[in-house]
Structures are given as C-alpha cells and as structure tokens.
Amino acid sequence: MKDGYFHRVHRMSPTKFWINNPTSEEVQLALEAGALGCTNNPSYSFKMLEHPKENARALKLLKEAVQETTSDDEAAAAFQRKLVAPVAAAFRPLWERSGGEDGWVSIQGDPVHEHDPRVIIREAHENRKLGPNINIKIPTTSAGLEAMKTLVPEGCAINATEIMSVSQGVSLCEMYERVSAECGRRPPLWLSFIAGIYDEYLETQVREQQIPIEADIVRQAGLAATRKMYRLLHDRRWPAVIIGGGARHLRHFTEMVGGDQVVTINWKGTADLLLEQNPDVVHRFLCPVPPGVIDELLAKLPDFRRGWEPGGLSVEEYEDFGPVVLFRSMFLKSWNGALAKIRELRGR
C-alpha cells in the first residue's frame, strides 16, 4: 500500500489526502492508504444511521444520546460527538507523531441553528473536548465569522467551510489576521473551498436555464476559483491552508495535486476509485486557467462572477449565495433526519 496512489501523492507533492465522513471500516482503510486527516460534516450522523454496516452501532449511540439529554438538539449534537470520538482517537497517533502537523479531525455541528454565533461557540467548546486533534468546522457566513472572533483568541483550530466565493475567503483571512494581531494567538486555520458543489450548482443552472456555454468550460469553474483563492493566500502571506471539498468527480482531487493544500474526499466512489485506477501523480493545480475560459464564465454565469470577484458578495450575502444554500440544504436534510429519529425514540 506504500506504493499506492495517495502515498505517492504525499511523496511527490505537497498535497494531502483527507477522508470525509468515513465509516469505521473506512477510517482504517483510509489510514492504510495514506490519509493524513479527516473531515466530518452534519450529514455524517444520518449517513451512519442509514449505513447497512454502521446502523446498529449508530442506533445504540443515538439511544445513549437521547437518554443523556433533555432536548432533541442536545441529543443530535451528543450523538454526533459519539460518532466522531473514535475517529479522532484513530487519527490521534498520527497527530502526535507529526507534532500536530497531521492527524486532524474536523467536526461541524448543527446546521439548523448555524445562523446563531452562540450555538456555534457552545458546540465548539463541547466538540473540542473530543481530543487535541479536533478542529472546529464553521460556516464562513456572518454568524460563523462572528463566532470565530471568539474562538481564535481561545486557540481553537478552525476549518472555515461553506466557502464558495473569493469574497468569503478574503473576509475570513482579514478577520483572522486582525483578531490574531489583537490577541497574540494564531491557531491552525483551514479554508474549505467547496469546488465540487460550486460546479454542481453552476452545471444545474446552465442546464435549467439553457445557458449557451460549453460544459467543458463550466466544469472548470470551481477549481478556477480555488486557484485564484490559493494565489491570494500566497501573495498576501495569509496563514490559511486550503481544503478542497465537495468532490463530485475524480478531477476534484487530481486537479488539486501540486498545491500546498488538503483535499478531502469520500472513500466510496472517489478514494477507492483513485486507488483502483492508480493515475500518475501529475502537478496540475498550478497550471493557469486559459483567460478565454474565465472570460466565458464571467460573461455568461453571473453567480460565477459573484464568486470570482473579491468584492462580488457582501458578508450579509454569504449565507444566501446559491451554492452555499445548496450545500447547506444537504446538511439540513440529513440533520433533520437524525432529529426525526430522536423524536421517534422519545415517542413523539
């Protein structure tokens, strides 16, 4: 396995492979394949309840969470922690061996109340108790940025997520630099640019509105914006590390290779296929996007323009930006599924 694709990626490039929302089996498979970290999002809980190999264990943990709490929201959060705890424990030896460089595990909580900074902060405090290698995944919205202003001075490692625009990344880094200068602390910071969901959103828009643009060009949009964000980070020497997320195709990993960044992918349908296909390790990320591609995207897709330009969105618009809404809708569906199961267990 040491000659497998991801091990070679790590040897031959600065790009790192993290696993997303893994089952117990996938945690071990990913570690053996070379995973250097893990991300979990609000879909994780319901995914485990529906998984044929995980549902019995997940249901047992959910029943414990229901018994230990008085409210449904508390039960959902406690259930998620119970699921993530063994994942964090599995990656902790890697975190310790690397001196905190690798082995991080992200946890993102309640999407129903993510508009409330107080909820984000409260959950962050509880989730950090899972281990020193936990980083807190927070949406880069007005509420999320407000919560981060409290968590950065506390030394909280943050994975800023739901980023679908350069404006969000700029706001995040400017806030971090300002707050860290004031408090004197610079905890680890990741910037999750969700290129795959961005592409999915734009492709659906093109299809439904019958916009006359080549599909090959639309498929470059998310990674083009990620490349722009990467250049800004390095040009301005901001400390954030990009995490490429929301992968929908193998290109959302292979096109990221070569950048000093992380790419998080699901095991089934992405990581397993890359191991099977075993492609060459080719540095593609730093290759420039042809100007004509960008011109076409800017001219025909207003939401690409809004995501591309640093001032394309105001902070107040982040939460309602179409691709962000699409991404969050997936989380809400799964989180509400877990809440429905909790109500069922409570006999309501």
Question: Which pLDDT score is estimated for 190?
Answer: 98
Banded model confidence at residue 347, pLDDT cuts 50, 70, 90 = confident
Cite the DSSP H helix spans in the chain: 5-12, 24-33, 44-50, 55-68, 72-97, 117-127, 142-151, 166-183, 195-209, 215-218, 221-235, 251-254, 272-277, 291-300, 302-308, 322-345
Mean pLDDT value across residues 128-154: 98
Cβ-based neighbours of 345, under 8 Å, separated by 6 or more: 62, 63, 66
Question: Which pLDDT score is estimated for 1?
Answer: 53
Sign of the torsion angle spanned by Cα atoms 147, 152, 157, 160? positive
Phi-psi region of 41 (alpha: psi -120 to 50; beta: other; left: phi over 0): beta
Computed over every residue of the chain, the mean pLDDT equals 97
Q: Across-strand partners of 139?
A: 161
∠ at Cα 308 (18, 207), nearest 5°?
85
Cα–Cα distance measured from residue 250 to residue 123, given in angstroms and rounded to the nearest whole number: 33
User: With contact defined as beta carbons under 8 Å apart, do 228 and 308 qualify?
Assistant: yes
User: With contact defined as beta carbons under 8 Å apart, do 169 and 235 qualify?
Assistant: no
Q: Is 39 helix (H, G, I), strand (E, B) or coil?
A: strand
pLDDT at residue 40 tops 80: yes
| Closest by Cα among 84, 81, 92, 85 to 31 | 92
Rounded to 10°, the helix 55-68/72-97 angle is 120
pLDDT at residue 293 tops 80: yes
Question: Which pLDDT score is estimated for 214?
Answer: 97
Question: Which pLDDT score is estimated for 8?
Answer: 98
- Please return the burial class of 330, using the count of CB atoms within 10 Å of its CB with bins 0-12, 13-18 and 19+: middle
Structural domain boundaries, residue 223 = 5-345
pLDDT at residue 181 tops 60: yes
pLDDT digits (tens, 9 = 90+) for 221-236: 999 999 999 999 999 9
Sign of the torsion angle spanned by Cα atoms 223, 225, 228, 229? negative
Banded model confidence at residue 164, pLDDT cuts 50, 70, 90 = very high
Looking from the CA of 77 toward its CB, the CA atoms found within 13 Å total 24
Mean pLDDT value across residues 54-61: 98
Question: Which pLDDT score is estimated for 85?
Answer: 98
pLDDT digits (tens, 9 = 90+) for 1-27: 578 999 999 999 999 999 999 999 999
Q: What is the largest CA-CA distance in the chain?
A: 59
| Closest by Cα among 264, 262, 281, 265 to 273 | 265
Mean pLDDT value across residues 112-132: 97
- Please return the burial class of 239, using the count of CB atoms within 10 Å of its CB with bins 0-12, 13-18 and 19+: middle
Dig out the tokens for 291 from the structure: 């100007």
Q: Across-strand partners of 35?
A: none
User: With contact defined as beta carbons under 8 Å apart, do 303 and 201 qualify?
Assistant: yes
Q: Is 268 helix (H, G, I), strand (E, B) or coil?
A: helix
- Please return the burial class of 67, using the count of CB atoms within 10 Å of its CB with bins 0-12, 13-18 and 19+: exposed
Mean pLDDT value across residues 154-164: 98
Question: Which pLDDT score is estimated for 3?
Answer: 86
**Structural domain count of the chain:** 1
Question: Which pLDDT score is estimated for 348?
Answer: 72
Q: What is the CATH number of the domain that holds 93?
A: 3.20.20.70
pLDDT digits (tens, 9 = 90+) for 246-276: 999 999 999 999 999 999 999 999 999 999 9
